[in-house]
C-alpha cells in the first residue's frame, strides 16, 4: 500500500479543525451562559498558555507560582464546570485526571518513558474510514487515536 496510515498521519489537519483561541473560548462560555469569573479566566488563560495536559494540582501550583490568588477547590470546580460544558478536554489516566485546552477531536501520543502526552492531528486515509464504515454500518463523524511509544535515539 503506497498510502500507509503512518505516512498520512503527517498531514496537518484542515484549517477549520484548528484549536480555538482563548478569546473563542471566552465567547463560547458566554454563549453557554457560563459566568466568566476572574478565577475561571485564570484557569482558561493558563491552559491556553501552557498547551499541555495538566492535573488540577499542576494548574493550582502554576497559578500560585505566578502570584495568582486562587484556591485548590476553586481550580478543581472551574475545571469540572469547563469540562462538563465541553469547553476543555479531560483525560482519565491511571495517574489521575488531566485537563487540556483543546476540545476539538484530536489524537494523543504518550511517551512510555516520561508519561508526557502530546496532542496530534492524525488524519486516517479515506479508504480506511470507508472500510470501517462498511464493516460497522456506522457513519464515522470523529475519531481519537491513542498512540504510545518511545523517542527514537538520535
Ligand atoms: Zn489533548
Q: How far apart are CA 53 and CA 154, in angstroms?
A: 26
pLDDT of residue 20: 81
How many helices (H) and strands (E) would you count in the chain?
A: 6, 5
Mean pLDDT of the chain: 88
Angle, alpha carbons 122-107-34 (nearest 5°): 125
Question: Is the CB of residue 70 less than 8 Å from the CB of residue 60?
Answer: yes
What percent of the chain has pLDDT above 90?
Answer: 79
With 60 as the cut, is the pLDDT of residue 9 above it? no
Q: Using the mean position of ligand 1's atoms as its centre, give its distance from the Cα of residue 117 in Å.
A: 8
Q: Using the mean position of ligand 1's atoms as its centre, give its distance from the Cα of residue 107 in Å.
A: 7
Q: Using the mean position of ligand 1's atoms as its centre, give its distance from the Cα of residue 3 in Å.
A: 26
pLDDT of residue 95: 84
User: Global pTM?
Assistant: 0.79
- Which residue bears the cell 469540562? 83
Query: Is residue 139 very low, low, confident or very high in pLDDT (cuts 50, 70, 90)?
Result: very high
Q: Using the mean position of ligand 1's atoms as its centre, give its distance from the Cα of residue 144 in Å.
A: 10
Query: Is residue 154 very low, low, confident or very high in pLDDT (cuts 50, 70, 90)?
Result: confident
Q: Using the mean position of ligand 1's atoms as its centre, give its distance from the Cα of residue 56 in Å.
A: 15
Q: Which residue has the higher pLDDT, 95 or 57?
A: 57
- Which residue bears the cell 491552559? 47
Query: Is residue 18 very low, low, confident or very high in pLDDT (cuts 50, 70, 90)?
Result: low
pLDDT of residue 19: 66
Q: Using the mean position of ligand 1's atoms as its centre, give its distance from the Cα of residue 5 in Å.
A: 20
In 2-77, beta strands by DSSP E: none
Q: Using the mean position of ligand 1's atoms as its centre, give its distance from the Cα of residue 28 in Å.
A: 19
Q: Domains in the chain and their CATH numbers?
A: 1-8+105-154 (3.30.1490.190), 18-103 (1.10.10.10)
Q: Using the mean position of ligand 1's atoms as its centre, give its distance from the Cα of residue 4 in Å.
A: 24
Summarised one tens digit per residue, pLDDT across range 32-78 is 999 999 999 999 999 999 999 999 999 999 999 999 989 999 999 99
Amino acid at each position: 500500500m503506497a498510502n500507509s496510515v503512518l505516512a498520512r498521519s503527517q498531514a496537518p489537519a484542515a484549517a477549520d479543525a484548528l484549536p480555538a483561541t482563548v478569546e473563542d473560548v471566552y465567547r463560547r462560555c458566554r454563549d453557554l451562559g457560563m459566568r466568566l469569573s476572574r478565577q475561571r479566566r485564570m484557569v482558561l488563560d493558563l491552559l491556553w498558555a501552557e498547551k499541555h495536559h495538566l492535573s488540577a494540582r499542576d494548574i493550582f501550583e502554576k497559578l500560585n507560582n505566578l502570584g495568582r490568588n486562587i484556591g485548590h477547590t476553586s481550580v478543581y470546580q472551574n475545571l469540572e464546570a469547563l469540562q462538563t460544558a465541553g469547553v476543555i478536554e479531560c483525560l482519565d489516566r491511571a495517574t489521575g485526571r488531566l485537563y487540556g485546552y483543546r476540545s476539538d477531536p484530536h489524537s494523543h501520543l504518550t511517551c512510555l518513558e516520561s508519561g508526557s502526552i502530546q496532542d496530534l492531528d492524525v488524519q486516517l486515509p479515506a479508504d480506511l474510514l470507508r472500510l470501517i464504515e462498511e464493516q460497522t454500518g456506522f457513519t464515522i463523524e470523529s475519531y481519537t487515536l491513542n498512540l504510545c511509544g518511545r523517542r527514537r535515539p538520535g
